[in-house]
């Protein structure tokens, strides 16, 4: 029996509370992720997908409800402290990397996630062979750019670097917020295949937001659809295997 990694209990979020513009984004979300779940998350614009990830990563504190990571209550834990356990790759390739640091320096920072950092990076030379080996597995020729500033990489290379940074030190939970949406189709496909490979090999627990119905059904073991701040579909196992794109489209109808 798989052990629960993440549990959300009655999570609600409200913006502009107490004003005429008050609006609930998430409405009593109850969700449990087991160890090794790879969830593809779908929903219309404004359904609450990114808000859900932001509640999990700590950048938004819920208006009500509780969040547990490996049975520990993290509801009021800061985003910085949650970064010890939770890694995220964003849609914008510019986020998640330091542009004025080299690829190798960015990777060294990632290995120190959750540790107190000094102003000087130590141990880079010792880690270079590992970084060369890790980047050699990746698309985009990143292994030839270890001494290149991240700001000088292509969008695809920078997003691949962001993904490697998020996974080089195994997180308890990996959040992917449309991490391939800003890339061209070929680069997007390469990064999705890399994502699938790494999640499987490391047995990561992962939530991936996507707008592509085909990808939502092809990758992962579980598909969740959000609509108007609520979970309207949570399919796993045989139920998910039987799902078609047409089945999911029905949830997007008004």
pLDDT tens-digit series, residues 216-241:
999 999 999 999 999 999 999 999 99
Choose one of 137, 170, 203: the last residue of a domain: 170
Q: CB count, 10 Å around CB of 220?
A: 24
Six token digits for residue 81: 């402290």
Choose one of 117, 137, 170: the last residue of a domain: 170
Query: How many whole angstroms separate alpha carbon 251 and alpha carbon 3?
Result: 30
Confidence (pLDDT) at 116: 61
Q: The CATH number of the domain where 184 resides is what?
A: 3.40.50.300
Are residues 240 and 117 part of one domain? no
- Is 93 inside a domain boundary? no
pLDDT at residue 149 is higher than 70: yes
Query: How many whole angstroms separate alpha carbon 42 and alpha carbon 52?
Result: 12
| Cα angle for residues 199, 201, 205 (degrees, 5° grid) | 35
Q: What is the pTM of this model?
A: 0.92
Band (120; pLDDT cuts 50, 70, 90): low
Q: Please name which of 88, 42, 97, 19 lies closest in space to residue 209, comparing C-alpha atoms.
A: 42
Query: How many whole angstroms separate alpha carbon 193 and alpha carbon 201?
Result: 12
Q: Is 224 helix (H, G, I), strand (E, B) or coil?
A: strand
Band (117; pLDDT cuts 50, 70, 90): low
| Mean pLDDT taken over the chain | 91
Mean pLDDT (whole number) for 158-166: 93
Is the pLDDT higher at 225 or at 124? 225
Are residues 15 and 135 part of one domain? no
Query: How many whole angstroms separate alpha carbon 252 and alpha carbon 226?
Result: 9
Most confident range, picked from 91-100, 119-128, 181-190, 191-200: 191-200
Mean pLDDT (whole number) for 202-214: 95
Confidence (pLDDT) at 72: 95
Q: Please name which of 27, 1, 14, 93 lies closest in space to residue 61, comparing C-alpha atoms.
A: 14
Are residues 222 and 185 part of one domain? yes
Query: How many whole angstroms separate alpha carbon 152 and alpha carbon 250?
Result: 43
Confidence (pLDDT) at 2: 62
Residues of the chain above pLDDT 70, percent: 95
Six token digits for residue 238: 């045989």
pLDDT in tens, 45-71: 889 999 999 999 999 999 999 999 999
Choose the weakest-confidence range: 135-139, 156-160, 200-204. Answer: 135-139
Total structural domains within the chain: 2
Choose one of 170, 199, 230: the last residue of a domain: 170
Name the residue range of residue 177's domain: 4-85+171-252
Are residues 131 and 14 part of one domain? no
Are residues 162 and 120 part of one domain? yes
Confidence (pLDDT) at 121: 60
- Is 238 inside a domain boundary? yes
Mean pLDDT (whole number) for 138-154: 90
Taking only Cα atoms into account, the Rg of the chain, rounded to an integer number of angstroms, comes to 19
Mean pLDDT (whole number) for 156-164: 92
Six token digits for residue 200: 């499987």
Mean pLDDT (whole number) for 149-153: 94
Confidence (pLDDT) at 125: 83
Are residues 178 and 166 part of one domain? no
- Is 209 inside a domain boundary? yes
Are residues 57 and 117 part of one domain? no
Is the pLDDT higher at 214 or at 139? 214
Are residues 69 and 52 part of one domain? yes
Are residues 176 and 158 part of one domain? no
Are residues 74 and 136 part of one domain? no
pLDDT at residue 163 is higher than 60: yes
Mean pLDDT (whole number) for 137-157: 89
- Is 159 inside a domain boundary? yes
Are residues 117 and 241 part of one domain? no
Are residues 209 and 198 part of one domain? yes
């Amino acid at each position: 029996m798989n052990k629960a990694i993440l549990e959300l209990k009655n999570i609600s979020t409200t913006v502009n509370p107490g004003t005429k513009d008050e609006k609930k984004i998430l409405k009593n979300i109850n969700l449990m992720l087991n160890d090794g779940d790879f969830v593809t998350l779908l929903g219309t614009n404004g359904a609450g997908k990114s808000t859900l990830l932001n509640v999990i990563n700590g950048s938004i504190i819920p208006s009500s409800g509780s969040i547990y990571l490996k049975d520990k209550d993290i509801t009021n834990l800061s985003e910085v402290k949650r970064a010890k356990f939770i890694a995220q790759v964003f849609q914008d390739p510019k986020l998640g990397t330091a542009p004025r640091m080299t690829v190798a320096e960015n990777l060294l920072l990632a290995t120190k996630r959750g540790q107190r950092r000094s102003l000087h990076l130590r141990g880079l030379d010792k880690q270079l062979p590992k970084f060369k080996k890790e980047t050699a597995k990746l698309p985009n020729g990143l292994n030839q750019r270890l001494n290149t500033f991240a700001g000088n990489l292509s969008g695809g290379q920078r997003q691949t670097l962001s993904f490697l940074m998020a996974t080089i030190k195994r997180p308890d939970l990996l959040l992917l917020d449309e991490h391939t949406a800003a890339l061209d189709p070929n680069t997007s496909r390469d990064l999705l295949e890399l994502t699938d490979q790494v999640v499987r090999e490391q047995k990561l627990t992962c939530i991936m937001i996507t707008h592509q119905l085909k990808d939502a059904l092809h990758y992962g073991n579980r598909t969740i659809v959000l609509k108007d701040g609520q979970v309207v579909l949570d399919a796993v196992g045989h139920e998910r295997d039987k799902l078609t794109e047409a089945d999911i489209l029905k949830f997007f109808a008004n």
